[in-house]
C-alpha cells in the first residue's frame, strides 16, 4: 500500500485538479491489491469520466465513483466434483455482482484456468457500462471458475456444472441475477447449468440466457456478439464514408465470437483471413469462406479440436504456432479471443500495415499502450464495451421473451440487434466526437456511466 493512498481520506478520493485520476487510482490500487486486470479496467473508465464527475458536485457528494468500484457483492465458493477416474477435483467458483442500479445483475460465466478474482472483477466492471449502453434494464455481473473444460469428457463437464450450480443457485434468479456464457461456457454448459438449477428449485424460469431454442432460448443469441461487432464496425466505417465490402479482416480466437464475426463478415462481402487459439494462428490468404467456416464450427463445437488442424485440412492456409494474427496485412481487425491480446507493438504493426478499424469482440483485448497507439493514430477503434454489447443485448431480449412467455422471429431479433448497435454507436458519437474523429473510448465510457450514476443518485445511499 503506498504512503499517499494510506494517508488519503475517503473524502479526498475524487479531487479537483489535474492529478485527480492518479489520486483516485492510488485509492483503487490500495484497496484492491494484486488485481492488475481490475485496476486496468477501472483506470480506462476513470480517465474518460473524471471530468464529468469533477464537474458534477452531486456525483462527488454521493461518492458515485467510489461506490461504482466496490462490487455490491462477491461470492466465492468451493466446487468439488468427481472425474472419470473416480478422483475428487476441487475448483473455485465465483460470482461478482458489481452493480444493480439499472436492473438485475447480468453477465456471463467464464470457465478457464486463467480465471481469478481480478479477471472477474474487471469483466463485471466493464459489464456495468456495457449493459447500460444496450438501452436495456440490466445491471452488471460476471462469474466463473478456474475449471478447464479442455480435454474433459461430457460427463465430467456435466458433473462440474452441476457442482458449480449447486452453490450458485441460491444467489441467482430471473429478477435477481441472470448469468450466461463467456469463454469456455457455451450451449452445452448452459444446458447442464440450467438442468441443475431447475432440479434444485423445481422452477422452470429464465434464470440463464444462451439457452437452447427448445427450452426458452432466443434465436440468434449464439450469433449475436459476433454479428453485433461487425454491425458496429459497419457504423464506424460509415462515419468515414466507407463500407465493409471488399475489406480484408484479421480475426483472433476461433470460438463463439470469432466464428460469427467471420460469418457476418462473409455475408457483408469482406474477406476474413485469420483465426487463432491459445496455440497459434492460421493465415489463409485465399480467405476463410462459408465452407471452411462450417468446418471450423464442427471442429470447435463437436470435435473440440485445435485451430492448427485447419492448415492440415486446407492447403491455402499456414499455421503459425505461438503467434497472434496482428502482423498480417489487413484493413479491419476483430480481436475475439481474450484480454490483453493486442499490446503496444501489435497495435503499431496493425496501424503500420494499414489497418484502420479495430473492433473488439473480446473484452479488453487491447493493453493501455495499444489503446494509446489506436487513439493517437485516430483510426476507428471500437472498445469492447460498445462493440461486443450485441451478445448481452440479445440476452436481454431473451430475458424479456422468457418473462413474457413469447418468442421472436430471427428477423425481429436481427432487426433489434442492428438498432441497438446503431444506438450504441450514436451514443458514442454524442459523447466522443472530437472534430471530425470519434473517440469511442470516451464516448462509450461517458454514455455508459451517466445512466448508471443518475440511477444510483436517485436510489440514495445503498
The cell numbers describing 374, all together, are 489506436
Q: Find out whether 181 and 256 touch, Cβ atoms under 8 Å.
A: yes
Shortest Cβ 257–ligand 2IT spacing (Å): 9
106 binds, among ligand 2IT, ligand NDP, none (CB under 5 to 8 A by kind): ligand 2IT
Which CB sits closer to ligand 2IT, 120 or 392?
Answer: 392
| Backbone φ/ψ region at 216: left (φ over 0), alpha (ψ -120 to 50), beta | left
Q: Which stretch binds ligand 2IT (CB under 6 A): 326-334, 335-343, 388-396, 454-462?
A: 388-396
Q: Which residue has the cell 448508471?
A: 452
Q: How many CB atoms lie within 10 A of CB 339?
A: 22
With CA atoms as reference, report the closest residue to 334 among 227, 444, 182, 447. 227
Backbone angles phi, psi at 286, to 5 degrees: -75, -15
With CA atoms as reference, report the closest residue to 274 among 301, 253, 246, 300. 253
Q: Find out whether 344 and 373 touch, Cβ atoms under 8 Å.
A: yes
Q: Find out whether 337 and 253 touch, Cβ atoms under 8 Å.
A: yes
Q: How many CB atoms lie within 10 A of CB 448?
A: 29
Residue 114 makes contact with ligand NDP by CB under 6 A = yes
**Mapping DSSP to helix (H, G, I), strand (E, B) and coil, where does residue 166 land?**
helix
Q: Which stretch binds ligand NDP (CB under 6 A): 27-35, 38-46, 247-255, 420-428?
A: 247-255
Helix 410-432 vs helix 389-403: angle between axes, to the nearest 10 degrees?
Answer: 130
Report how far residue 7's alpha carbon sits from residue 12's, in angstroms, rounded to the nearest whole number.
10
107 binds, among ligand 2IT, ligand NDP, none (CB under 5 to 8 A by kind): ligand 2IT
Report how far residue 361's alpha carbon sits from residue 385's, in angstroms, rounded to the nearest whole number.
9
Shortest Cβ 88–ligand 2IT spacing (Å): 30
Which CB sits closer to ligand NDP, 262 or 446?
Answer: 262
284 binds, among ligand 2IT, ligand NDP, none (CB under 5 to 8 A by kind): none
Q: Which stretch binds ligand 2IT (CB under 6 A): 102-110, 199-207, 315-323, 351-359?
A: 102-110
Residue 107 makes contact with ligand 2IT by CB under 6 A = yes
Residue 402 makes contact with ligand 2IT by CB under 6 A = no
Report how far residue 152's alpha carbon sits from residue 203's, in angstroms, rounded to the nearest whole number.
29
With CA atoms as reference, report the closest residue to 223 among 361, 129, 386, 399. 361
Q: Which stretch binds ligand 2IT (CB under 6 A): 106-114, 166-174, 275-283, 403-411?
A: 106-114
Helix or strand (DSSP H, E) at 99: strand 88-99
Which residue in the list 106, 121, 142, 324 is annotated as catalytic? 142
Tell me, yes or no, if 198 is annotated catalytic: no
Which one of residues 382, 391, 432, 443 is an interface residue with ligand 2IT (CB under 6 A)?
391
Shortest Cβ 96–ligand 2IT spacing (Å): 13
Residue 106 makes contact with ligand 2IT by CB under 6 A = yes
Shortest Cβ 131–ligand 2IT spacing (Å): 8
Which CB sits closer to ligand 2IT, 60 or 110?
Answer: 110
Q: Which residues are catalytic?
A: 142
Q: Which residues bind ligand 2IT (CB under 6 A)?
A: 106-108, 127, 130, 180, 182, 209, 363, 391-392, 395
Binding stretches for ligand NDP (CB under 6 A): 112, 114, 181-184, 186, 225, 253-258, 277-279, 336-338, 361-363, 388, 391
Amino acid at each position: 500500500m503506498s504512503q499517499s493512498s494510506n494517508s488519503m481520506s475517503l473524502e479526498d478520493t475524487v479531487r479537483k485538479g489535474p492529478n485527480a485520476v492518479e489520486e483516485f487510482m492510488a485509492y483503487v490500487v490500495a484497496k484492491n491489491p494484486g488485481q492488475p486486470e481490475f485496476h486496468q479496467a477501472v483506470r480506462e473508465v476513470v480517465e474518460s469520466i473524471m471530468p464529468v464527475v469533477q464537474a458534477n458536485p452531486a456525483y462527488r457528494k454521493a461518492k458515485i465513483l467510489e461506490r461504482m468500484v466496490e462490487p455490491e457483492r462477491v461470492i466465492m465458493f468451493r466446487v468439488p466434483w468427481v472425474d472419470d477416474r473416480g478422483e475428487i477435483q476441487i475448483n473455485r467458483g465465483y460470482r461478482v455482482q458489481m452493480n444493480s442500479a439499472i436492473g438485475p445483475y447480468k453477465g456471463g460465466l467464464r470457465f478457464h484456468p486463467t480465471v481469478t478474482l481480478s479477471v472477474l472483477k474487471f469483466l463485471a466492471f466493464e459489464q456495468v457500462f456495457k449493459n447500460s449502453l444496450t438501452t436495456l434494464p440490466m445491471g452488471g455481473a460476471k462469474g466463473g471458475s478456474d475449471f478447464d473444460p479442455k480435454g474433459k469428457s461430457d460427463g465430467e463437464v456435466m458433473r462440474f456444472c452441476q457442482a458449480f450450480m449447486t452453490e450458485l443457485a441460491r444467489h441467482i434468479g430471473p429478477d435477481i441475477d441472470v448469468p450466461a456464457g463467456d469463454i469456455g461456457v457455451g450451449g452445452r454448459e448452459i444446458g447442464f447449468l440450467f438442468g441443475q438449477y431447475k432440479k434444485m428449485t423445481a422452477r422452470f424460469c429464465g434464470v440463464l440466457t444462451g439457452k437452447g431454442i427448445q427450452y426458452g432460448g432466443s434465436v440468434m443469441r449464439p450469433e449475436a456478439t459476433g454479428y453485433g461487432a461487425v454491425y458496429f464496425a459497419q457504423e464506424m466505417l460509415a462515419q468515414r464514408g466507407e463500407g465493409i465490402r471488399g475489406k480484408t479482416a484479421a480475426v483472433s480466437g476461433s470460438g463463439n465470437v470469432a466464428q460469427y464475426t467471420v460469418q457476418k463478415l462473409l455475408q457483408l462481402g469482406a474477406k476474413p483471413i485469420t483465426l487463432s487459439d491459445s496455440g497459434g494462428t492460421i493465415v489463409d490468404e485465399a480467405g476463410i469462406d462459408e465452407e471452411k467456416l462450417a468446418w471450423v464450427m464442427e471442429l470447435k463445437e463437436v470435435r473440440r479440436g485445435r485451430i492448427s488442424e485447419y492448415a492440415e485440412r486446407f492447403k491455402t492456409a499456414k499455421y503459425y504456432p505461438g503467434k497472434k494474427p496482428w502482423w498480417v496485412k489487413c484493413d479491419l481487425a476483430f480481436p475475439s479471443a481474450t484480454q490483453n491480446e493486442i499490446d503496444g507493438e501489435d497495435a503499431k504493426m496493425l496501424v503500420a500495415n494499414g489497418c484502420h478499424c479495430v473492433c473488439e469482440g473480446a473484452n479488453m483485448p487491447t493493453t493501455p499502450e495499444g489503446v494509446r497507439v489506436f487513439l493517437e493514430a485516430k483510426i476507428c477503434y471500437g472498445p469492447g464495451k460498445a462493440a461486443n454489447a450485441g451478445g448481452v443485448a440479445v440476452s436481454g431480449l431473451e430475458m424479456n421473451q422468457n418473462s413474457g412467455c413469447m418468442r421472436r422471429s430471427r428477423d425481429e431479433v436481427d432487426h433489434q440487434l442492428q438498432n441497438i448497435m446503431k444506438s450504441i454507436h450514436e451514443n458514442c458519437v454524442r459523447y466522443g466526437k472530437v472534430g471530425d474523429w470519434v473517440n469511442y473510448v470516451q464516448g462509450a465510457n461517458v454514455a455508459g456511466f451517466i445512466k448508471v450514476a443518475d440511477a444510483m443518485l436517485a436510489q440514495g445511499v445503498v
